[in-house]
Structure 1
């Protein structure tokens, strides 16, 4: 009885598979479709370019040329073991500060001062250092507008900045930020207050 129950599903399966194979082999040549061969075809340029198109292409090329930007080469101003990578930045560029070879007993702060006017500065950021814990480090600073800190417009960053090494006798370093904005960063320097 158990064998009869197994034989019936096997026979049904064979009949279904056989029918499917027969149907496929009978249909093989009847339903063919022609597909256009576009792989080997060439796109042919227009014989004459329309003046409007030429004008638009020229306009796009001019805009790209105006927006072309390349950062100034690194100059590495040095004060003791500390270095700043450039003398001049545009808004949106990162200021790269590094220290290498701090003595074991050197401890203090790198104070980055932004200009308030031609003779006064305000602390923008301090970076603590301790040669006993870490004899070298890299740090990026990117001045950004923020309502909570009171940096409302791009003008808050434009001018001559100073880097002071508190706790040491190393001379200060200076760099400037111009009013030019890094292409693509214009939206980041719209007034926030």
Structure 2
């Protein structure tokens, strides 16, 4: 055998021996985990008053910020009823229509405030007593860049509900600047 074939064989044997030594000396990747299922974690004695104070403070804040819808009061104009006179942003406006005569046909127009004296049509709902004498409708004002409703301010204020095609008096309700908990991101400016 010549040197050209002996050297690669020796190098190969050395690599195999090094590999075996590494494998034998390698520690297994096993982690011991303590069973804590039935153990109670107790804070240090001197930390308890501070922790309890913070927990009480957080609970107080949660109670203050907890959303509680107003009681339904059903403001009425003829066969048309709204469930409340005041809503927060993100809350659904519930319109109940019941007892339309077969001759009553028109539109319910929700008018949002532009300023203290002017309004703009936000949404219309057609009705025809000959087809349906009663139905319910939910409406939730939402921002829309395409429609030009860019900020929550576009909805805050005194709204009117007009019953086109009838002689029923308008209804009014208010949307406050408060936002329903959890819906804050829905009222971030879009334009």
- TM-score, structure 2 length as denominator? 0.76
Instruction: Name the structure 1 match of 2:62.
Output: 64
Instruction: Name the structure 2 match of 1:170.
Output: 168
CA shift, 1:47, in A, is: 6.7
Compute the RMSD of aligned alpha carbons.
Answer: 2.1
Counterpart CA distance in 2 for 1:114 and 1:161 is 5
**CA 49–184 in structure 1, closer or farther in 2 if over 3 Å, else same:** farther
**Number of residue pairs matched by the alignment:** 157
**Per-residue CA shift, 1:63-92, capped at 9, x if unaligned?**
312321101111101101000111111111
Counterpart CA distance in 2 for 1:66 and 1:110 is 36
Counterpart CA distance in 2 for 1:139 and 1:49 is 57
**CA 49–72 in structure 1, closer or farther in 2 if over 3 Å, else same:** farther
Counterpart CA distance in 2 for 1:45 and 1:58 is 18
Counterpart CA distance in 2 for 1:152 and 1:124 is 13
Unpaired runs of at least 5, structure 2: 1-34
Instruction: Name the structure 2 match of 1:123.
Output: 121
Q: 2:111 aligns with which of 107, 110, 113?
A: 113
SS at match of 1:123: strand
Runs of 4 or more above 3 Å deviation: 41-47
SS at match of 1:119: coil
CA shift, 1:57, in A, is: 1.9
Instruction: Name the structure 1 match of 2:40.
Output: 43
Q: 1:96 aligns with which of 89, 94, 97?
A: 94
Q: 2:187 aligns with which of 171, 174, 189?
A: 189
Unpaired runs of at least 5, structure 1: 1-36
Counterpart CA distance in 1 for 2:162 and 2:39 is 65
Instruction: Name the structure 1 match of 2:27.
Output: none
CA shift, 1:61, in A, is: 1.5
